[in-house]
Amino acid sequence: MSPRHGSNGVRGTLIAAVLFLPLALSSPAVAQNPEAESGAQSLLLDPSVRSSAMGHSSNAVFWGSGSNWSNPALLAYRRGVEYEWGRTQLVPQIADDVFFTSKRLTLGYWGVGFLVAGKPISSVGGLRLDYGVSIATDVDGNELGRFRSYEDTQAFATGANLLEFAEHALKVGGMEIPALSRYGDVAVGWSEKRTHVFLAPADVTLDHVAAEGYVTTHDSGVLVRLTPYDGIDHPGTLPGLDRVLAGRLEGSYGGSTQNYNNATIAYVDPNQSDPVARIQIKGWAAHASFDLPQRYRENIRAHRLGWLTDMISPLISVGRTGSKQLPLIPDATTGGLRSGTRIRNSGWEVTLANIYSFRGGKIDDPVGTIQGETSGWGIGLHLKDVAGFNYDRATIPQSIYLGPVHRKALSFYFNPLRAWDLVRGGKRSV
C-alpha cells in the first residue's frame, strides 16, 4: 500500500495489527513458519471459544454444542437450529480496537448439518477481524484521513453422518434396518470461505488504488466415531453394571485440511499474490458420561417435576482431546508445498449436571512463540434436546511477547422437530 502525496504513511491500529498480529498468531521466524507468511490472517483464527479453551484440539470433538471451524465433518452431529455469537479482543497490549467477531448459524437433522455464516445469505452471520481505525498522514504529520481496515469472511459448510442418514432415508422408504449408528459412524464434511481483506481506501494511497483483495478457500474433513458401550440411552449390554451406574464410552478420530485448494490473495497487483496457508489437522477424542441407572431415572420422571432430571443428564461427563497441526505453503522455487513445524495441542473438558463445564488445554508450537496453558468455563441450560443456551469463556496464550487473550461466546439452540414430537407425545428420536 502506497500512501498518497508523499505522505509518511499510515499510523494507528493498522500498523499495530500488521506488525504484531502475525506475531501473535504465529512466529517471529517468518522464513520458517508458513502461518506467518500467510495472507488473510483471519483464516487462522478459530471462532470457537469452547475449542480455544481446550487448546484448539477439538478437531474430533463430536459431543456438545458449538461449531468447530477446523473440521466441517462435525456438522453432522448438529441437531435443530443453533445460533452462536462470539467476540475476542486481540493484541490488547498494543491496540484497544482490534476485535474478532463471529456470528454463525447451524442447522441439523437426520445426521446432516449445515453452517451459514454470510453464505448463501449475506445477512445471516459472518466473521470479521476488525483492525480498528488507522490514520493516513503527509510528510509533515498532517492528517489526510481516517479509515478502518478489516477482514470479512463469509462461509458455508455442510457435514453428513453417512450411516445415520442412510438409516433415516431407508426408514422413510419403508425399510427398517438395525440402528447401527448407535455403535459408530463415519462423517464427512466440506466448507467454502470467501474472505475480503481491506487494508486502505484508494484516496489515501499514492496510486489511488484501494489496497484490498479477495480469496476463496475450501476445506474438507472426515470423522470416525465408535461407541462400544452405551448404558444411558441403550442399557442392557452390561446388565450388572447398568443396575449400578449408567455410563457411555465413546472415542473418535478426525482429520481435516483447510485451504486444500492452495488459494492465493492479491491486494493490488494480480501478478503479485500472497499464498494462504494450508493447514492439515489430525485429532482424536475420548469421552465418557455417567448417570443414574435407568430404573431410578424412570421413577423420578414419574413425578410431577420429574422432567427436570433431563436438564441435568448426564450427571458427569469427561472428555480428553489431542491434535496435530501441520502448516504448509506453496513454494515458488520447487512448485510444491513447504511445510512448517508440527504444532501439538491437547485439551480436556469436565461437565457437571449438564450445566457447568470446566476446560483446559495446552498449545505447543516449537517454532512459534505461542506456547502455554489454556483455560475456560461454560454454563448452560438444556431442556432435553429441545432448546437451550450456552455461555462460554476462554483464556488462551497469544505470544510470549504479549499477554493472554480472553474470549467469550453465547449460543442458543432450538430443535423444532423434537419439540413437535413432544407436543404430539411421539417417541421417535430426531
Residue with the three cell numbers 459412524 = 185
Give the amino acid at 232: I
pLDDT tens track, the chain, 430 positions: 434 434 445 555 554 455 445 545 443 333 456 666 677 888 888 889 999 999 999 899 999 877 677 899 999 999 889 999 998 888 777 778 888 999 999 999 989 999 999 888 877 889 999 988 888 777 777 777 788 889 999 999 999 999 999 888 888 888 877 778 889 999 999 999 999 999 888 777 777 778 889 999 999 999 999 999 998 888 877 777 777 888 999 999 999 999 999 988 888 777 778 888 899 999 999 999 999 887 777 777 777 766 677 788 899 999 999 999 998 887 777 777 888 788 899 999 999 999 999 999 999 876 666 778 999 999 998 887 788 899 999 999 877 677 788 999 999 988 887 777 767 764 444 4
**CA 370, CA 406: separation in Å to the nearest integer?**
15
Q: Which three cell numbers stand for residue 262?
A: 492452495
Of 185, 152, 169, 155, the C-alpha closest to 74 is 185
- How far does Cα 275 stand from its chain's mean position? 22
Q: Say if residues 412 and 419 touch (Cβ distance below 8 Å).
A: no
DSSP string for 269-317: -TTS-EE--EEEEEEEEEEEEEE--HHHHHHHHTSTTGGGGGGG-SSEE
| Whole-number pLDDT of residue 8 | 46
**CA 150, CA 196: separation in Å to the nearest integer?**
8
| Whole-number pLDDT of residue 38 | 72
From the CB of residue 379, how many other CB atoms can be counted at a distance below 10 Å? 12
Spell out the alpha helix ranges (H) of 219-288: 239-242
Show the CA angle centred on residue 33, arms to residues 32 and 39, nearest 5°. 130
Q: Say if residues 340 and 370 touch (Cβ distance below 8 Å).
A: no
- Separate counts of helices (H) and strands (E) for the chain: 7, 19
**CA 216, CA 260: separation in Å to the nearest integer?**
11
Torsion angle in degrees (nearest 10) through CA of 254, 162, 114, 349: -40
| Whole-number pLDDT of residue 365 | 77
What does the buried/exposed string (b/e) look like for 23-61 if buried means 16 or more CB atoms within 10 Å of the residue's CB? Answer: bbbbbeeeeebbbbbbbbbbbbbbbbbbbbbbbbbbbbb
pTM: 0.86
